[in-house]
Structure 1
């Protein structure tokens, strides 16, 4: 299977049209790779099996997040890709179905495997220590998939606003994010901060639309304004230094996102656009492009399983009685390359086992009927994914729940929402195709 997959990647690379923006594909792969490596590095497990955060152990490293918190880059690339995809497949149900299939098929396999393991572990009483921590942690990166589903859902209306107002649509989202933070920090309006899960990330996503239409012409200005804004907000406002969430902090720039994180996103997007020339020349090399194509085909699977791999490495070390040095000590840093190599190897094995579920789905004829049903379906799915990212798999038999804004959810309820939403989108697609067949016959 491995050789066939490599040949497939090589064939895809060879068949790439000259008009394709390969730099965008490079950014997608590179940003996810940085996220994976960042998670591996931040997971500081001590001899007692407790998982800490390296940025809390060494607060000076929080400044590094201003370069390596690259989720804004991934969402920016998503905006670019969604604009092109929707224009080539404008019917809402077909657009949603194709995106949900690519995202949720590997995700639900991951959820199924871990859900079954969690039940076995809890029934056998083996869900304590590092295992219990793993049951809580492995679903946390799913928040990214939930936010991405929201971006997919809002692509059609926001793309229309972009096509009508251009930079004005982006400015509207930024203005809404500013208003939310003013209401949050100055007027202390409860729950309003959660709106910035939409406004901040959708503003970054909107930059991808602008890039798709060649409207990001001054990346240096964008990067400078973003960096200056983030610096001022952190220095003068209630915003923390770290651009990722920190345990115990009263305000997080990530959850919910803040205006400081939006400025950080502007700076990163401007920075990667400034690097577009050398980046495009680099990815134009045949060997580099083949690697990027192959990596894009497994990126979601690797992202889903990378924390599983790292926690398994720590579990083996603890289980074999190996000495785990204090996090951030010299011995701990010396072990980093070995831990990374072991986690990369295990991730590769997991990818080999599950990569087939990431295969793209062939498009189906579509007319646009079933749009409201599709919108309902993706809303249910994204609520379920976000809920599962909060609950984890710990305490399945004890009714453990977490609150998504105001909605309490257990892990089974979250999984049910995901599956129901997915089935509703599939149903909308069937309604759409049936409507197309009837319309075709009527003509």
Structure 2
């Protein structure tokens, strides 16, 4: 392992035998479970006369407070930052690390593309109306935004690690300051500039993960962690109370402003609050992770994080298609006794479908991509950027071609970009001059 330059008074978090940080494993597992549970529980659905009506249970008055804990994307980027630094330190070279990360992230997407490029036309053949198909295609693709941004984050990780080791906390502080400036421009109606915070906000949170591995976050005591959490949630509350930010940490239907799309600087302070809360609970979380059943569950989900993320919304589409479209089921009013009784059954049904999907498609993630990687750093950079663009295009446009649209209006160009990115992440594709001997 390469030696790392440390800040005065900081040291890497010592890893237990086997090289796994159980706290990070618990954070990642808890975050993905929170994501899928929220996505499965919050839809309010009804079907009538060829149209699927969609709503969000979290618009119920007062339920916005749930999102302060259930919006766990900050924790995903925090844990990702820590995991990226740990794996980079172990890698033989930066090129080897980048090649492994790019291909590992893109490979599980390929079966999702293969399925969803044909599913809409198959369903049309069975007489499914167009509007529900559009909703299903959008739902299956919309969460690819995360992987798009995360690929860029992975690409710049070596640079951000070097910045971390030189400037420490000044790096997330500067990124947060830039996010504030972007928000100011956004709230003054300066076009699409708000989406720059998809980089500044998430890179700032990702940087916190470095400070867990090589910094004081990894050794902070319970009192300090609780103080950090109080500061993070307190700043978030003040910005909601006196600023232009909505109280919900996820986008709400019909809301004029979203903290998530594009991300606002509020998510940085929310991240501080959430991270501090979990660090305060770290001893208890480590003890819980040591239980044999929990350890087995963590070992199972660990190699399948991306597959669980990619396929949990298609699982919701399957359950919704059978119950809402096929059986005319209507979601009860959120918060009612009937909703409280039926929602666990709904979530259990989606979990059952997801389990089946993972048995078929999870193997793509658990098996390392085959072939020798010979691509250079420049080609790997192009692969990451092309893959990110393809994923973002799919997230924005969905898998279903609009009525009257051509090939270029549908998902094929974006899917092709992702496939090409995966190829670029493998063998060196540069044309080499051939020499012959007489």
What's the TM-score, normalizing by structure 2?
Answer: 0.86
Partner SS, residue 20 of structure 2: coil
Partner SS, residue 289 of structure 1: helix
Which one of the candidate residues 307, 314, 321 is aligned to 1:301? 307
For the Cα contact (< 8 Å) 1:96–1:153, is it kept in 2?
Answer: yes
Q: Deviations over 1:379-438 (max 9, x none)?
A: 11011101101111222673379xxxxxx974212112212222222245x77xx9xxxx
Distance, in Å, in 2 between the alignment partners of 1:162 and 1:19 is: 22
Partner SS, residue 52 of structure 1: strand
| Superposed displacement of residue 345, structure 1 | 0.8
Match of 1:103 in 2: 105
Match of 1:312 in 2: 318
Aligned residues, how many? 407
| Superposed displacement of residue 318, structure 1 | 3.3
Distance, in Å, in 2 between the alignment partners of 1:415 and 1:374 is: 18
Within-5 A mapping of 1:168-179: 168-179=170-181
Partner SS, residue 45 of structure 1: strand
Q: Deviations over 1:94-146 (max 9, x none)?
A: 22221122222111101210111123334665343534321221111111111
Distance, in Å, in 2 between the alignment partners of 1:332 and 1:79 is: 38
| Superposed displacement of residue 353, structure 1 | 1.1
- Alignment partner of 1:75 is 2:77: yes
Distance, in Å, in 2 between the alignment partners of 1:92 and 1:419 is: 23
| Superposed displacement of residue 247, structure 1 | 1.8
Q: Which runs of 4+ in 1 moved over 6 A?
A: 362-367
Which one of the candidate residues 236, 245, 254 is aligned to 2:260? 254
Q: 1:237 to 1:422 in 2, by over 3 A?
A: same
Distance, in Å, in 1 between the alignment partners of 2:92 and 2:208 is: 20
Distance, in Å, in 2 between the alignment partners of 1:247 and 1:86 is: 40
Match of 2:8 in 1: none
Match of 1:235 in 2: 241
Match of 2:46 in 1: 46
Q: 1:18 to 1:394 in 2, by over 3 A?
A: closer
| Superposed displacement of residue 348, structure 1 | 0.6
| Superposed displacement of residue 183, structure 1 | 2.5
Match of 1:61 in 2: 63
For the Cα contact (< 8 Å) 1:50–1:133, is it kept in 2?
Answer: no
For the Cα contact (< 8 Å) 1:298–1:358, is it kept in 2?
Answer: yes
Which structure features the higher share of helix residues? Answer: 1
Partner SS, residue 250 of structure 1: coil
For the Cα contact (< 8 Å) 1:118–1:394, is it kept in 2?
Answer: yes
- Alignment partner of 1:17 is 2:17: yes
Partner SS, residue 44 of structure 1: strand
Match of 2:422 in 1: 422
Match of 1:33 in 2: 33
Distance, in Å, in 2 between the alignment partners of 1:311 and 1:337 is: 17
Q: 1:325 to 1:193 in 2, by over 3 A?
A: closer
| Superposed displacement of residue 278, structure 1 | 0.7
Within-5 A mapping of 1:137-152: 137-152=139-154
- Alignment partner of 1:359 is 2:360: no
Partner SS, residue 191 of structure 1: helix
Q: 1:275 to 1:410 in 2, by over 3 A?
A: same
| Superposed displacement of residue 67, structure 1 | 1.0
- Alignment partner of 1:278 is 2:284: yes
For the Cα contact (< 8 Å) 2:373–2:425, is it kept in 1?
Answer: no
For the Cα contact (< 8 Å) 1:174–1:200, is it kept in 2?
Answer: yes
Q: 1:190 to 1:322 in 2, by over 3 A?
A: closer
Match of 1:204 in 2: 205
Distance, in Å, in 2 between the alignment partners of 1:305 and 1:335 is: 22
Q: 1:33 to 1:109 in 2, by over 3 A?
A: same
Match of 2:132 in 1: 130
Distance, in Å, in 2 between the alignment partners of 1:307 and 1:362 is: 25
Q: 1:307 to 1:289 in 2, by over 3 A?
A: same
Distance, in Å, in 2 between the alignment partners of 1:201 and 1:269 is: 14
Distance, in Å, in 1 between the alignment partners of 2:253 and 2:329 is: 25
- List gaps (5 residues or longer) in structure 1: 1-15, 402-407, 435-443
| Superposed displacement of residue 284, structure 1 | 1.7
For the Cα contact (< 8 Å) 2:161–2:210, is it kept in 1?
Answer: yes
Which one of the candidate residues 332, 353, 360 is aligned to 1:346? 353
| Superposed displacement of residue 262, structure 1 | 1.6
For the Cα contact (< 8 Å) 1:45–1:327, is it kept in 2?
Answer: no
Q: Deviations over 1:362-382 (max 9, x none)?
A: 799989x82122112201101
Worse-matched range after superposition: 28-37 or 298-307: 298-307
Match of 1:373 in 2: 379
Distance, in Å, in 1 between the alignment partners of 2:409 and 2:93 is: 32
Worse-matched range after superposition: 303-312 or 197-206: 303-312
RMSD: 2.5
